[in-house]
Amino acid sequence: MSNASNTLRLMCVHAHPDDESSKGAATMARYVREGVEVLVVTCTGGERGDVLNPKMDRPEVQENLPRIRTEEMNRAREILGVRQHWLGFTDSGLPEGWLPDSGIALPDDAFYLVPTEKAAAPLVEIMRSFKPHVVTTYDEEGGYPHPDHVKTHEISVAAFRAAGDPEQYPDRGEAWRPSKLYYGHGFGKARVEALHQAMVDAGLESPYGDWLAGDQDWARDKSGRVTTRVECADYFHIRDEALKAHATQVDPDGFWFAVPREIQQKAWPTEDYELVESSVASRLPEDDLFAGLR
């Protein structure tokens, strides 16, 4: 995977197959078509995920879920135009009520239980081989509190900081320091409110009405942390096709597609990120993950 060219390179680290298509997919599609090399790293195989599409909830699917999710990832990768690497850890599952300090047990082979220093090692190796200029991942809560998302955050930050230090993981390749680290913030309150209002204005039933009217904990809303909004509405159709490739996880008649694409493009045409660490100067707010690098 060694890459010494001057081409800009983006690495997006995700927990499961389908996460790459539901979080930042239009950004990746845009950059690929602008000539950026994009690599998705998928930490687990999604082996313990539920079949969330009722149309696919059949015994033969359940029995072959690991293989099917791999095939779905292959199709999504082709649609997005990205490269993809499996990190090889085992899905932790999501026991009901699990939180980092809940005391609820996870399976012994769970990705979440692998010590961070050990779990970061193969990611450091990939960073040093692919040589990304920019890395994206989840925030400290994983975007939402799934054990694999929390662990993905931990190893992404650890690998980002270690990859450029030749004294760390000396057996994992020549040191390479990525320039910028971002957290994705794709589902903040401001975006939900904008999509909801756009649906109401169009005389359509919003899928967010009950949610906004209920006791959703917006105290944890992270919209204010966004530093970088990447215009990518023209690539929402590619994102949607990649999502549909994950047929066990995404119902084409379900929640993900309840807001017509044209309304999404007008109401919220960006995918949003938080610049967390950078070794290059750029002026905030940004409209490009590669600001300061071009």
For 229-287, the pLDDT digits (tens) are 999 999 999 999 999 999 999 999 988 899 999 999 999 999 999 999 999 999 999 99
The pLDDT confidence band at residue 2, using thresholds 50, 70 and 90, is very low
Residue 206 has pLDDT above 90, yes or no: yes
Residue that wins the pLDDT comparison between 36 and 214: 36
Overall average pLDDT of the 43-68 stretch: 91
Encode pLDDT of 99-127 as tens digits: 888 889 999 999 999 999 999 999 999 99
What's the pLDDT score for residue 220? 67
Q: What's the pLDDT score for residue 17?
A: 97
Residue ranges of domains in the chain, CATH in brackets: 9-187+223-278 (3.40.50.10320)
When pLDDT is cut at 50, 70 and 90, the band that residue 199 belongs to is: very high
List strands edge to edge, sheet with 134-137.
83-89, 37-44, 9-14, 134-137, 180-184, 270-278, 228-231
- Give φ, ψ of 223 to 5 degrees: -55, -35
Cis peptide before 122 (omega within 30 of 0): no
Task: Kindly give the interhelix angle for 65-80 and 236-245, rounded to the nearest 10 degrees.
Answer: 160
Between 180 and 145, residue with greater pLDDT: 180
Question: Which is higher by pLDDT, 51 or 26?
Answer: 26
Cβ pair 146, 15 in contact under 8 A: yes
Does the global pTM surpass 0.75?
A: yes
Residues 131-151 have a mean pLDDT of 95
- Choose among 43, 39, 46, 42: nearest CA to 69: 46
Give me the chain's average pLDDT, please: 94
State residue 188's pLDDT score: 84
**Predicted local distance difference test score (pLDDT) of residue 77:** 98
pLDDT band at 187 (very low <50, low <70, confident <90, very high): confident
Going by pLDDT thresholds of 50, 70 and 90, the confidence category of residue 3 is: low
